């Protein structure tokens, strides 16, 4: 097999600086892994990760003369982000990974795995140097077990794959109108058994998930969606619902005037905070006026006697100010439990004075349409100008349930859309992509293996992907690892797309990637399907279970090409 020098497209997310030579470092079963000023448990995890990816089990010792060396250093000159940056230097005998922190070393290992090639029994790393660091400190992904339960096993796969792609935040939407998935001793009705696709995690599940994430430098961000999206909550505890006379109270929201609500929430938030060791607690707060059917949220607050008394006592003139009062109470509550609050942005009328504390981190996803929430004069820039920090989750660019398009994604970064003026860019901490469930099934097995690396690149390296065809060729190797066979690199060019949407058509006519003649494409489909079936029997690739979904997608493409139609995927 002809080996090529390492290009930036071969490592995902793309490193800032990568220099290669024509030499190779060849490892064998006599090679070892050594470390300097590195915790032994990390060295062991690195050895296991490298071995799982390559099939080569390095000997573990104090030092390595031939193999891989991990070293903690006090400073990395020329690396802007010391906490997460790293340097890789590869000579014909040794790959040396240097970082200030163990997190940086872990990221270096992920890049080293991306550089490594396995050809039979030969494990090779191109000689040269990599100097790398992230452009954004918050690199997140959101999953939605509240609408479609995600098993602990699948959660661990998410964590593995997020870590592989250098994400550091795993935002989990644990509650919604359909279910409450966190264990509660204080409020056991929240754990009432639900019909599939719903479920509840045990405390032991969450302890194992948190530990697994911590070992891979991923922080879980739990979300309890309030005061809207609370239908299940008020069904189980009706005393949380507003009391109205003229019209039925909204079943979408809790009462935010009654002191009994805040006592309830204090005990609930205390339980949730104790389950997660991370810095953040996400409170949701979205879609209070998103649909006509839930317009009664504000009407209920205006009519509810407890809410009216609260507004009078606190000198609040309207229900939006009552919502801001709720946010102040919840911010203080979260702070007592050592958490910084995050909220979706769309319920703040940022064009007008408000009293929402500025240390609440805004997850920006939209400006409401006319009649569906605050919109006039509201922009992302207004939030930043007002003093908030933000995570960019602008839905047309980041929602994986059918919104993002790869021709935009290759150019997007958290500062580009919506465009952020230079003077406010430091207030954008990063970006987060979101995999919302439709409440029926897991739709993302097809899309996440490629979409997550693509988005990871955009929040690690803000430079546009200027050669998408080269990126597409490197994507399969990134997904399946160093033992990816020759030929599988043609998977995404053959499919005609990298972002395989869970609910969209196959790419009969590629939009971004170079078109392949129809007959050649049909031949490639057949070759790739044979290759996939052969690799399924070996079961030595990373993420092998994804192969079946790609085989199905290739079959759909074959049918489309043969019939000149484009069936639904």
Q: Say which CATH number the domain at 57 has.
A: 3.30.379.10
DSSP-derived secondary structure for 229-271: S-HHHHHH-GGGS---SSSPPPSSS--SS-HHHHHHHHHHHHH
Looking at the structure of the chain, the number of domains it has is 3
Same domain, 210 and 336: yes
Same domain, 173 and 126: no
Counting beta carbons within 10 angstroms of the beta carbon of residue 276, is it exposed (0 to 12), middle (13 to 18) or buried (19 or more)? Answer: buried
C-alpha distance across the termini of the chain, in Å: 35
Q: Which of 460, 476, 511 is the last residue of a domain?
A: 460
The model's pLDDT over 44-87, given as tens digits with 9 standing for 90+, comes to: 999 999 999 999 999 998 777 899 999 999 999 999 999 999 99
Instruction: Kindly state whether residue 2 falls inside one of the protein's structural domains.
Output: no
Whole-prediction pTM: 0.96
Supply 198's token pair: 């719903």
Range of the domain at 549: 468-563
The model's pLDDT over 484-532, given as tens digits with 9 standing for 90+, comes to: 999 999 999 999 999 887 656 677 889 999 999 999 999 999 999 999 9
Q: Which parts of the chain register pLDDT below 70?
A: 1-9, 290-295, 440-443, 502-505, 564-569
What lies within 8 Å, CB to CB, of 538 at 6+ separation is none
Same domain, 12 and 93: yes
Q: Which residue in 100, 97, 95, 96 sits closest to 73, CA to CA? A: 100
| The pLDDT of residue 374 | 94
Instruction: Kindly state whether residue 568 falls inside one of the protein's structural domains.
Output: no
Q: How far is CA 354 from the centre of its chain?
A: 30
Same domain, 190 and 118: no
DSSP-derived secondary structure for 174-199: -B-SS-B-S--SS-GGGG----TT--
Task: Report residue 60: phi and psi, to 5°.
Answer: -105, 125
Same domain, 538 and 456: no
Q: Which of 401, 431, 460 is the last residue of a domain?
A: 460
Instruction: Kindly state whether residue 436 falls inside one of the protein's structural domains.
Output: yes
The model's pLDDT over 240-258, given as tens digits with 9 standing for 90+, comes to: 999 998 888 999 999 999 9
Same domain, 510 and 376: no
Supply 470's token pair: 């080269």
Q: How far is CA 53 from the centre of its chain?
A: 22
Q: Which of 132, 147, 178 is the last residue of a domain?
A: 132
Same domain, 502 and 396: no
Instruction: Kindly state whether residue 1 falls inside one of the protein's structural domains.
Output: no
| The pLDDT of residue 7 | 56
The model's pLDDT over 164-216, given as tens digits with 9 standing for 90+, comes to: 999 999 999 999 999 999 999 999 999 987 788 899 999 999 999 999 999 99
What lies within 8 Å, CB to CB, of 517 at 6+ separation is none
Same domain, 127 and 214: no
| CATH number for position 380 | 3.20.20.80
């Amino acid at each position: 097999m002809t080996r090529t020098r390492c290009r930036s497209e071969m490592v995902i997310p793309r490193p800032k600086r990568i220099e290669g030579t024509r030499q190779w470092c060849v490892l064998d079963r006599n090679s070892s892994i050594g470390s300097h000023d590195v915790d032994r448990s990390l060295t062991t995890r690195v050895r296991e990760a490298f071995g799982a990816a390559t099939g080569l089990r390095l000997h573990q010792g104090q030092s390595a003369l031939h193999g891989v060396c991990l070293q903690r250093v006090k400073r990395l000159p020329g690396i802007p982000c010391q906490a997460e940056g790293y340097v890789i230097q590869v000579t014909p005998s040794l790959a040396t990974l240097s970082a200030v922190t163990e997190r940086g070393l872990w990221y270096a290992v992920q890049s080293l795995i991306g550089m490594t090639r396995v050809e039979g029994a030969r494990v090779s790393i191109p000689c040269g140097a990599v100097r790398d660091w992230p452009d954004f400190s918050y690199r997140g992904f959101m999953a939605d077990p509240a609408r479609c339960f995600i098993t602990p096993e699948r959660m661990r796969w998410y964590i593995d794959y997020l870590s592989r792609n250098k994400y550091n935040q795993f935002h989990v939407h644990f509650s919604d109108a359909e279910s409450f998935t966190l264990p509660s001793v204080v409020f056991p009705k929240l754990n009432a058994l639900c019909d599939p696709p719903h479920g509840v995690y045990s405390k032991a599940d969450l302890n194992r998930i948190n530990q697994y994430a911590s070992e891979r430098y991923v922080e879980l961000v739990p979300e309890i969606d309030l005061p809207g999206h609370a239908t299940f909550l008020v069904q189980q505890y009706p005393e949380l619902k507003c009391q109205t006379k003229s019209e039925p109270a909204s079943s979408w929201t809790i009462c935010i005037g009654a002191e009994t609500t805040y006592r309830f929430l204090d005990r609930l938030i205390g339980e949730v905070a104790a389950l997660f060791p991370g810095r953040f607690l996400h409170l949701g707060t979205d879609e209070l006026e998103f649909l006509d059917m839930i317009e009664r949220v504000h009407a209920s607050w205006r009519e509810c006697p407890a809410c009216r008394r609260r507004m009078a006592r606190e000198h609040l003139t309207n229900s939006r100010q009552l919502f801001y009062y709720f946010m102040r109470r919840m911010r203080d509550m979260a702070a007592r439990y050592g958490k910084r609050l995050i909220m979706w942005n769309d319920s703040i009328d940022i064009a007008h004075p408000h009293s929402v504390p500025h240390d609440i981190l805004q997850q920006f996803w939209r400006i409401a349409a006319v009649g569906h929430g605050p919109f006039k004069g509201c922009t992302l820039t207004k939030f930043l100008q007002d003093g908030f920090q933000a995570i960019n989750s602008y839905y047309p660019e980041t929602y994986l349930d059918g919104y993002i398009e790869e021709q935009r994604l290759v150019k997007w970064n958290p500062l580009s859309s919506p465009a952020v003026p230079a003077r406010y860019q430091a207030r954008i901490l990063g970006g987060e992509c979101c995999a919302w469930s439709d409440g029926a099934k897991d739709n993302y097995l097809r899309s996440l293996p490629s979409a997550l690396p693509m988005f990871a690149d955009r929040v690690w390296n803000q430079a546009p992907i200027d050669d998408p065809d080269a990126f597409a060729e490197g994507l399969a190797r990134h997904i399946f690892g160093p033992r990816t066979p020759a030929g599988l690199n043609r998977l995404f060019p053959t499919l005609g797309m990298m972002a395989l949407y869970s609910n969209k058509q196959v790419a009969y006519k590629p939009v971004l990637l170079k078109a392949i003649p129809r007959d050649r494409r049909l031949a490639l489909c057949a070759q790739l399907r044979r290759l996939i079936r052969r690799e399924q029997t070996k079961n030595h690739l990373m993420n092998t279970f994804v192969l079946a979904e790609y085989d199905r997608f290739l079959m759909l493409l074959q049918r489309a090409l043969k019939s000149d139609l484009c069936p639904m995927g």
